Amino acid sequence: MKTEKQKMLDHELYDANHNPELAAERLAAKDLCFEFNQTRPSESGRQTEILRKLLGKTPQSFFITQPFWCDYGYNIELGDNFYANHNLVILDAAKVTFGRNVFIAPDCGFYTAGHPVDSGRRNQGLEYAHPITVGDDVWIGGGVKVMPGVTIGSNVVIAAGSVVTRDIPDNVVAAGVPCRVVRAITEADRENPHRFGK
């Protein structure tokens, strides 16, 4: 018989609220997040040490600006040269994988967790989790929210305030609620670095 953690990792409905193993893991992660968030901004070495203990995979070069919160930590994998600004929240009941050179603006959220639409099961405390994947060379604008199961391709810009509910292909600018492709990224973007819209 599967444990609730095995169900979670297999993207099945699982009981997150009444399972002692998962509750203990979340509490341990929250303690490390709290410790990270309470360090002085000048204590970058200590911050990195805490994050390496918390996160599943960290590269040689990465930086997360306080505050930062996650659920488990071990399901988060960062690529090289990862940067996140203030108020990043990652609900990592499933894998959240970032490629190389991912830049994340303030107030962004990556939410693998979801709840049944059916109120009976939702009220029992059941939920599910689907992985999120972000490719290489991606810029996520301020206030973006990425929903369960989404894959964002490489060389992508997601405009501020977007809610990403479906996959985004490579080499595009995407925006909106729900987020959709606005245009391709072309050589004109290299020639005019201030170009964003059409």
* Closest C-alpha to 110, from 100, 95, 122: 95
Query: Among this protein's residues, is 115 annotated catalytic?
Result: yes
Residue-level pLDDT at 6: 96
Contact in structure between 99 and 78 (CB atoms under 8 Å):
no
The fold for domain 4-191 equals UDP N-Acetylglucosamine Acyltransferase; domain 1 (2.160.10)
* Catalytic position from the list 11, 86, 115, 130: 115
pTM for the model: 0.94
| Residue 17 confidence (pLDDT) | 87
66: its two tokens: 């306080």
Q: Is the dihedral of CA 151, 156, 162, 168 positive or negative?
A: negative
Which pair of structure tokens corresponds to residue 107? 């107030």
On the 0-12 / 13-18 / 19+ scale of CB atoms within 10 A, 52 is exposed
What residues have CB less than 8 Å from 114, skipping those under 6 apart?
127, 128, 129, 130, 147, 148
pLDDT tens series, the chain, 198 aa? 999 999 999 999 999 888 999 999 999 999 999 999 999 999 999 999 999 999 999 999 999 999 999 999 999 999 999 999 999 999 999 999 999 999 999 999 999 999 999 999 999 989 999 999 999 999 999 999 999 999 999 999 999 999 999 999 999 999 999 999 999 998 887 777 666 655
> Where are the domains positioned within the chain?
4-191
Identify the pLDDT of residue 195: 64
Q: Are strands 14-15 and 126-129 parallel, antiparallel or unpaired?
A: antiparallel
